[in-house]
Amino acid sequence: MTENRQLCIGLSLSATWMKGDGWRRPDSGVEKMGSIDYYIDLAKIAEKAKLDFLFRADYLYVSPQMLGDSANFGSPDPTMIFAAIARETERIGLVTTISTTFNPPYVVARQLQSLHWLSNGRAGWNIVTSIEGAENFGDFPMPSPEVRYAKAMEFTDVVRKLWESFPNEAIIMDRESGMFSERDKVSSIDHSGEFFSVKGPLTMPAHKSGSIPFFQAGASDTGRNFASTVADAIFAAMPDLESGVELRTDLRKRAKEQGRNPDAIKVLPGLYFFLADTREEANELHKTAHAHLSMERRHASLQSVLGLDLSSFALDHRVTADMLPDPNQPVRSRTHAELLRRYITNNQPTAEEVLARPEVVGSAHWVSVGTVDDVVSDIMERFEAGAIDGFIALPGGSEKSMELFFEKLMPKLVERGLFRSQYTGVTLREHLGIT
């Protein structure tokens, strides 16, 4: 049961409704993608609906899939996008994405604290270790997941130390005495670790609202250990209810083992929804969004995600656990690979069903297709089952799908007591319930 809990809801600022051939629709608004005004308008709509935060993923490479028939070109720097949005909004949180694999912690600590100041306490950090892009930062190959997460753990520790090195209380502005700041409250961190050596202190004081919340997206075993240690929220990959219950239960258990309150971590999967006035329309939107993916591309995606080649099998051939490749072989994403492994082991699906999975045609997001009432029921089912604490909205199919989300779905969640009608705080920490 929900026990009077309320959902935590964010909106992805990526134009997910333009995936596939969606950008070709007359009402897609694709021509507006190159203007910051487009994203500012979306931010204002989300704030009007009292959403907790805006979320923006990031890419540090250009893959072939981003070019050609896809309305995609990677990503502008999300922190710069949010710096512009900060001046046009007042309450909604701003969760930017920054990699710990390819950036120095001092620069990141300063960027995030700057966004925190610009937004008056609304910044959030989606911590990623990246899965591709090493060639853009030198001649070294991509580090293993274990190395990337070890580096991320030290990285976040350094960032926190830097934020603490110049506390807000150090600024006193005493005109009478002529003392602007107290020197003894600002100190070097003198960090020397396996990956970083940073003296500090940071060049600016911490914001009075408190530290910046951490989001994290990895759901592999290594990622879960990292998340249970540092994260306030998880952008989780969970294509079905069972995987959601398992992930949330496991993360809460690990958080408790780390000495944390299990309620301190909010599990927020991406909800990729296709909303329409009728189920038939919604199903057509979903079908159209993936129509551009040929069988050849699906087979290539499956090999990239899982290392499994089904190209020689008939579509009705059952895929069983004994057909799965070595779990230790390199794959694009361990999270998606483990989700697919679990699905195949538990269900023995056909090759056609495997090739239609979100991990293959999308990115392992929870997909909900139907009317507003259908999707609300889907949300309530997962919430009451203990699979989610909320979600990050990924509108699919068309701009109308997004409009229905704001105009009809969100009011229904408010009516049912699952979401607030007004903001109760002004910072992201307050929206997330962080004390």
- Three-state SS letters, 298-363: HHHHHHHHHCCCCCCCCCCCECCHHHCCCCCCCCCCHHHHHHHHHHHHHHCCEHHHHHCCHHHHCC
Same structural domain, 275 and 303: no
Radius of gyration of the chain (CA): 22
* 97: in domain: yes
Q: For the segment 234-253, what is each residue's pLDDT rounded down to a tens digit?
A: 998 787 888 889 999 999 99
Longest pairwise C-alpha distance within the chain:
83
Give the pLDDT mean for 172-185. 95
| pLDDT on residue 2 | 46
Phi and psi dihedrals of 6, rounded to 5?
A: -120, 155
What percent of the chain is modeled with pLDDT above 90? 65
Q: Which residue pairs from 23-31 have beta carbons closer than 8 angstroms and sit at least 24 positions apart in sequence?
A: 23/71, 25/398, 27/398, 27/399, 27/400, 28/71, 28/398, 28/399, 29/399, 30/71
Q: Would 148 be classed as within a structural domain?
A: no
The answer on 59 and 21 residing in a single domain is: yes
Q: Which of 360, 389, 405 is the last residue of a domain?
A: 360
Token match 């005495």: residue?
177
Chosen domain end from 360, 383, 417: 360
Domain hosting residue 100, numbered range: 8-143+200-280+366-432
Residue 152 predicted with pLDDT over 60: yes
Indicate if 374 and 326 belong to the same structural domain.
no
Helix (H), strand (E) counts: the chain: 15, 14
Whether 258 and 300 share a structural domain: no
Distance of CA 65 to CAs 29, 75, 303, Å? 21, 14, 15
What's the token pair of residue 208? 């009075």
CA distance 249 to 178: 55
The answer on whether 149 is annotated among ligand-binding residues is yes
Q: Is 222 annotated as a binding residue?
A: no
Residues 391 and 346 in one domain: no
Burial of 142 from C-beta contacts in 10 A (0-12 / 13-18 / 19+): middle
- Looking at residue 319, its amino acid is V
| Apex 268 CA angle, 418 and 394, nearest 5 | 90
Is 381 in the same domain as 325?
Answer: no
Q: Are residues 327 and 390 in the same domain?
A: no
Indicate the pLDDT class of residue 1, thresholds 50, 70 and 90. Answer: very low
> For the chain, how many structural domains are there in total?
2
Residue 79 has pLDDT above 60, yes or no: yes
Q: What is the mean pLDDT of residues 1-24?
A: 81
CA atoms of 126 and 206, how far apart (whole Å): 19
| Higher per-residue confidence, 70 vs 86 | 86
What average pLDDT does the chain have? 90
The answer on 309 and 273 residing in a single domain is: no
Write the burial class of residue 329 (CB in 10 Å: 0-12 exposed, 13-18 middle, 19+ buried).
exposed
Residues 220 and 273 grouped into a single domain: yes
Q: Which amino acid is at 107?
A: V
Q: Is residue 392 part of a domain?
A: yes
For the residues 340-346, what does the mean pLDDT come to?
88
In a domain, 85, yes or no: yes
Distance CA 67, CA 19 (A): 12
Residues 335, 421 share a domain: no
Is 272 labelled as part of a ligand binding site?
no
Provide CB contacts within 8 A for 117, sequence distance 6+.
Answer: 204, 207
Q: What's the pLDDT at 316?
A: 92
Domain match, 234 and 251 both: yes
Contact between 354 and 313 (Cβ < 8 Å): no
Q: In whole angstroms, give the CA distance from residue 59 to residue 375.
A: 29
Model confidence at 22, pLDDT cuts 50, 70, 90, reads: confident
Residue 383 resides in a domain: yes
Euclidean distance between CA atoms 363 and 357, whole angstroms: 9
pLDDT at 433 over 50: yes
Is 178 contained in some domain? no
Same domain, 345 and 412: no
Residue 338 placed within a domain? yes
Residue with tokens 């997909």: 367
Q: Is 61 annotated as a binding residue?
A: no
